[in-house]
Amino acid sequence: MPHRSIIVKTGHGPGTAIAVLMVGLMAVGIVFVVLGSSLYFSEQPADQRALPSPPARSTHDSKAAN
């Protein structure tokens, strides 16, 4: 008995499987963007208060340049 893939057994072609996969990946991407942006905007004021006034990288770079 020749082996047939699961996609062919369901009656849907590989195009349908690719479309379903793309829609699923887009949905996951949208969820990550929404959650990430909400976390970023809710944490941003606290992060700005926590940072020292001059960034440590710029002071380190200026010392290295001298």
Higher pLDDT: 5 or 28? It is: 28
pLDDT for position 32: 95
Stated pTM of the model: 0.45
pLDDT for position 46: 52
Q: Alpha-carbon distance 25 to 32, whole Å?
A: 11
pLDDT tens digit string along 12-41? 778 888 999 999 999 999 999 999 988 888
Sequence ranges of the domains in the chain: 7-43
pLDDT tens digit string along 42-63? 765 555 555 555 656 666 666 6
> Is residue 35 a contact partner of residue 41, using CB atoms and an 8 Å limit?
no
